[in-house]
Amino acid sequence: MKEVLNFAKKNFNSYVDELKDYLRIPSVSTDPKFKNDVNKCADFVVTKLKDAGMKNVKKIKTEGNPLVYGEWLEAKGKPTILIYGHYDVQPADPYELWDNDPFEPVIKDGKIYARGADDNKGQNLIHIKGVEAYLKVHGELPVNVKFLIEGEEEAGGESIEKFIKDKKNKKLLKCDAVLISDTSMYAPNIPTITYGLRGLAYLEVHVTGPNRDLHSGSFGGAINNPANELARMIAKLHDKRNRITIPGFYDDVLKLTKKEKENFASLKFSDKKMAREYGVRELWGEKGYSTLERLWTRPTLDVNGIYGGYTGEGAKTVLPSKAVAKISMRLVPNQDPKKIARMFKKYIKEIAPKSVKVDVIDLHGGRPALIPLNDPYLQAAARATSKVFGRKTVYTREGGSIPIVVDFMEQLKAPVILMGFGLETDDIHSPNEHFPLNNFERGIYSSIHFFDEVAKMK
Ligand code: BES
Ligand code: ZN
């Protein structure tokens, strides 16, 4: 294995060049304008898997964006690891807030800046290069490996969900564990395994008032203003303790165990430091819980965007006919996104006055995940990262969502290992997204160590 690590080290600069090529493809899945680039990016991943020495590499057509599959299954009697990642990225907007072209990667202070650098191109290329180094040095892997890289994670991931639920594909995807690098480390240099993710319910509230925009002087006071009403309704969704007021909302929330509470308390965390980093005077949230508890184990409700009426320069006296809010709720085990969406709709209708019309549209959802910590594959990953980073691996939950995780667990009956190498400060989904190159490098070494740790298991 030493030779493999040395080989990866020697070739690291060329891995960085390949990452740059990957990042130059604007594979934005949420905007149909980029359809061609999304396809080009799938082809790029096909080439990378082939170059790495994977067999049976193919682009799989779906109703949405293609999946990319590849395998190497010649380690007789050894476990099979399925590696998942996504080659699609979030839109780069707002472009003017980037210091460089989001699709022309720039290296500054040991970090690579581009859309998708961390989420998720840098993180999935880690494993492609880990496998490649192994195959180039030894001509074989110590375990069996399959790759499944999707192209619409940032847009809801419907196609992959259908694909893994289809009985015809069960054999193709059969594995002993699923490995995903699409999460963060607890702090720089602290190897981390994530064992919990929040889920999501995403809805849109459309409030319609008069059948056209009106003069706010002639009509204000007689006809209800949908923008005012939307604001009033949104304000009603939290109480004084910053809890969500939707009846039944907390019914299925799994209580934090004493052991988890202790584990969270043992992780160093400073509210002040977080406030400073993100430029707020103090943190905010549900009373009675620590910040880590709120981020990782409590559900939230947030307005992601709101519009209506006049938003241009200067003043325009108008009573708008319509206002819209995009509202998402991060959910925790054992909340069900469909049930929560129904409760949300019912409550919004209840608090809507007769003077406006309210429609609620369901956009998408995803279930929360909780992964047992005693799984031997997860433990192998913890040993691998611990060896590379030279310190004990910590176990965290995170506030973000990867809805496909529970589908993998249920459909493939396999544990899912979240071995992430991003940092919370990498600005994913935001301008100037970046990925520290030393994490890219140590990620590749961790991938190599992981295959070895798994091979030693059986
Ligand atoms: N890599 C993220 C998930 C993530 C973010 C995990 C932060 C841990 C911490 C992933 O690509 C993502 O952004 N997921 C979406 C899912 C949604 C579109 C269903 C999210 O969390 O908003
Ligand atoms: Zn993302």
Give all domains of the chain, ordered by start, each with its CATH number.
2-197+368-455 (3.40.630.10), 199-253+299-366 (3.30.70.360)
Nearest CA to ligand 1 atom 14: 401
- Global pTM reads 0.95
Give the residue from 24, 244, 222, 223 showing the smallest Cα distance to 121: 24
Q: What is the mean pLDDT of the chain?
A: 97
Average pLDDT over residues 238-262: 96
Which residues does 116 contact at the CB level (< 8 Å), separation at least 6?
22, 23, 27, 89, 90, 122, 433
- The rounded Å distance from CA 182 to ligand 2 centre is 8
Biggest CA-to-CA distance, the chain: 81
pLDDT in tens, 224-234: 999 999 999 99
- CA–CA distance, 132 with 54 (Å, rounded to integer): 8
- Helix axes 12-23 and 2-10, enclosed angle (nearest 10): 60
Give the residue from 410, 439, 414 showing the smallest Cα distance to 144: 414
Asked if residue 403 has its Cβ within 6 Å of ligand 1, the reply is yes
What's the half-sphere exposure (Cβ side, CA atoms, 13 Å) at 431?
9
Q: Where are the alpha helices (DSSP H) in 298-418?
A: 337-351, 376-389, 404-412
- Torsion, CA 215, CA 220, CA 223, CA 228, rounded to 10: 100
- CA–CA distance, 409 with 419 (Å, rounded to integer): 16
Instruction: Please identify every residue annotated as catalytic.
Output: 88, 153
Confidence category of residue 458, pLDDT binned at 50, 70, 90: low
Ligand 1 atom at minimum distance from 401 CA: 21
Q: Which ligand is nearest to the CA of 402?
A: 1
Fill in the amino acid letter for 145. V
| Structural contact between residues 341 and 363, judged by C-beta atoms closer than 8 angstroms | no
- CA–CA distance, 246 with 236 (Å, rounded to integer): 9
The pLDDT value given to residue 156: 85
Of all residues in the chain, the percent with pLDDT exceeding 70 is: 100
Asked if residue 123 has its Cβ within 6 Å of ligand 1, the reply is no
Q: In 209-270, where do the E strands start and end?
A: 214-215
Confidence category of residue 323, pLDDT binned at 50, 70, 90: very high
Average pLDDT over residues 235-252: 98
Give the residue from 230, 236, 238, 223 showing the smallest Cα distance to 205: 230
CB burial of 58-83 (b: ≥16 within 10 Å; e: otherwise) equals eebeeebbbbbbbbbeebeebbbbbb
pLDDT in tens, 72-121: 999 999 999 999 999 999 999 999 999 999 999 999 999 999 999 999 99
Asked if residue 183 has its Cβ within 6 Å of ligand 1, the reply is yes
